[in-house]
Structure 1
């Protein structure tokens, strides 16, 4: 297809053309989604494995509460840098090529953590692993959003969230099994960490045969290649209609030179959109979700479980996360994004309030232990069933095409830095003011988050990415 700068008008939305794709085409789209979301599986495993590995690592490496926080949060600091670097790289070099690079970094980082002889090496290796986690957190959702048809975008992009929580469940389960088999033997945590090298290899080999994002190809004026990719994942008629819409926007974006820091600063509507993206990112983190993902075993131990029992009980957190994400994927096809995000905020805030109350009011023992476990499970049901899938989906949708990777990358930097600060200070907060007061702080943050979502966050459901871009430009201009 020959697209020139003389394109007169924006074509009608591609959603007006039904996508009567063949079973082979639909199967191809499912395979692309499965392979790409191995990046999400690695994201989940590498962030969740520290939950069970940390107690054994603490003994072997002689960690203090501060160095525990450093080992945990160094990955998050790396993720902040990896998010913006991965976003820029995916805009400049392509989504597929970036995911291939990230697979290598995942492998190297996991191997470095496994072989770390001391705390300093562990912190560095976790930082390297964080580069891959941050890059994947940006690039995989953008890739899926750009490959997916508009009406299936919510379901397909949130498959990545499903793989993230599946990776966390895999980490929790393998931690418990390895701990029981290995007992108190030295270095048992190394076996927990090395498992992450396997999906990294699968991701690399799988992405070798996956197509590039058609929207990225169009943004590079490679319209013929973009059409060929669309024909592989759409019906012929829908592919041509979608390319016409994408190409028209690509020409306009090229004329406006959207795509970097300078453009973000000089374009008011993009600047306002970045503010919204930052807010969505912060909202997802200040629920305190990753205190439960990273320190869940210790929270349950403090509540009254024995160490081995806490590891096993923590699997319930992983199971409910996976089940809740299935529910979230189902809801995203039927419920608007914004109300879903607000419902999740109300649920998580109530659960955190009850964790704090139970930890404060109930005596140590089985009653308090199971009450806290019930509330962590409830918290994760709302977090993983509503807040997390909507967060990553909306961040992959709201930014303009030519700076989608960059925009999501910058928003993800804010997300990971917020995560880093929480992961770093949580052990010290618990040590200083107690677990109840710490969770009461998260309750207060949840109330502020709810007010932000109600006032500023737009609805994104039911539009193509191109239609949504036009709507957001009109709203924020």
Structure 2
């Protein structure tokens, strides 16, 4: 039992493992940059190409379409080519899409390039958390997958700052094209990564899997123990859809993964980030400069609060942090709704509304933001991991599109107060769902989680020690 006392293991984490995880998490930086950069570039694009509202929506939404299709294709690619090569394809798409956007001569080329960037985002959102879950040892797995979410938040903040810098000259081509440079760094970094030992074992490349584990684990004994656990896991011969049809236990975690991604989106964080300037305007900040700097502050809060998750996820566990985060978000949404209901008229009320907004962002960034990706990568059995993560990642993008497309309609039909109260209620629902279905996976190996699942334990118990 002493070999599983995690505090003793943390100081001996292999530095090579940390470097590999950092390079893989860079995919999140590109994800965040591409998600955030269009907000500042869109007004200048609309002016240069004479875009109407529908065409502007197309420029923004085609990326979501590309992301959904990129995520859908990632499962088969990951299964056939491996995690590393699929991530390399994503990095290449980031480069091609960024260059295409920077030099786009017309709307058609811009839309095609944005679609390619979306496909890259979809691949990154699928492969990076999956790869990190399979590379990192269990005592730092949560923080390493959370590192990916941190990179997303840094990317969004960098995009906001970049847009602000280039907005003075109106140079939208540099706004969109500057992403090429980190994309090239990602491509070069991925070239140096080892393949996932779990994928190698599924392909009967046992010697290579052992070599990777010897490189990434602190001791030879630790590497051999993990290798034996993976060897037991790969004995399941059914894969993906076939396993989903045949095995009710795998269907349970697939549905849980989909549910978790919908829970992440219905918190309301998506609309906060997409429509931050609009929300600041509702709160009484009238000038564009106030709204843009408010958005930057929101992005900075998102980055800083993600460090809370990285620091606590492998100490406190996934479930306590999720319950705390959903509770904070529910309270903030309810209070913001009340403020909009009574009317924001004074400067003190404006700053109170902004404070509540920033506390809400903190609640999300320390909980549902990173931890949903952590859990979705952990709960799926090895034989069905590609399929299960495909389903949950697709669910994220579908929910993302639904939430993004309905927020302004809700504001128009039920008012600002009613909309924020609705999201408060959805966060309360998320607390209940967390209590009922979400397992605690802290310090438990992926293989132990899989054994508990296949033994038929309730979903909330599959993270128990064997």
TM-score after normalising by structure 2: 0.90
Q: Which residue number in structure 2 is paired with residue 127 of structure 1?
A: 115
User: Does the residue aligned with 1:335 lie in a helix, a strand or coil?
Assistant: coil
Q: Which residue number in structure 1 is paired with residue 172 of structure 2?
A: 189
Cα distance in 1 between the residues matched to 2:152 and 2:101: 20
1:241 aligns with 2:229: no
Q: CA distance change for structure 1 residues 373 and 111 in 2, over 3 Å: closer, same or farther?
A: farther
User: Does the residue aligned with 1:150 lie in a helix, a strand or coil?
Assistant: coil
State the shift of 1:367 in Å: 4.3
Q: Which residue number in structure 1 is paired with residue 90 of structure 2?
A: 102
Q: Which residue number in structure 2 is paired with residue 266 of structure 1?
A: 246
Check whether the contact 2:250–2:384 (CA below 8 A) recurs between aligned residues: no
Q: Which ranges of structure 2 fall in alignment gaps of 5 or more residues?
A: 460-466
State the shift of 1:191 in Å: 2.2
Cα distance in 1 between the residues matched to 2:105 and 2:405: 22
Q: Which ranges of structure 1 fall in alignment gaps of 5 or more residues?
A: 1-11
Q: Which residue number in structure 2 is paired with residue 213 of structure 1?
A: 196
TM-score after normalising by structure 1: 0.88
State the shift of 1:147 in Å: 0.8
Q: Which residue number in structure 2 is paired with residue 9 of structure 1?
A: none
Q: Which residue number in structure 2 is paired with residue 334 of structure 1?
A: 315
Check whether the contact 1:14–1:245 (CA below 8 A) recurs between aligned residues: no
Partner residue of 2:342 out of 349, 361, 364: 361
The aligned runs of 1:6-85 (5 Å cut-off) are 15=4, 26-63=14-51, 66-85=54-73
Q: Which residue number in structure 1 is paired with residue 154 of structure 2?
A: 166
Cα distance in 2 between the residues matched to 1:72 and 1:292: 16
State the shift of 1:446 in Å: 2.2
State the shift of 1:396 in Å: 0.7
Q: CA distance change for structure 1 residues 65 and 284 in 2, over 3 Å: closer, same or farther?
A: farther
Q: CA distance change for structure 1 residues 335 and 98 in 2, over 3 Å: closer, same or farther?
A: same
The aligned runs of 1:293-332 (5 Å cut-off) are 293-305=273-285, 306-332=287-313
Cα distance in 1 between the residues matched to 2:96 and 2:313: 35
Q: CA distance change for structure 1 residues 113 and 425 in 2, over 3 Å: closer, same or farther?
A: farther
Q: Which residue number in structure 1 is paired with residue 403 of structure 2?
A: 422
Cα distance in 1 between the residues matched to 2:334 and 2:49: 35
State the shift of 1:424 in Å: 2.5
Q: Which residue number in structure 2 is paired with residue 287 of structure 1?
A: 267
Q: CA RMSD in A?
A: 2.6
User: Does the residue aligned with 2:267 lie in a helix, a strand or coil?
Assistant: coil
State the shift of 1:21 in Å: 10
Instruction: Give the number of equivalent residue pairs.
Output: 456
**Does 1 or 2 have the higher relative contact order (CA < 8 Å, sep 6+)?**
1
The aligned runs of 1:384-399 (5 Å cut-off) are 384-399=365-380
Q: CA distance change for structure 1 residues 56 and 424 in 2, over 3 Å: closer, same or farther?
A: farther
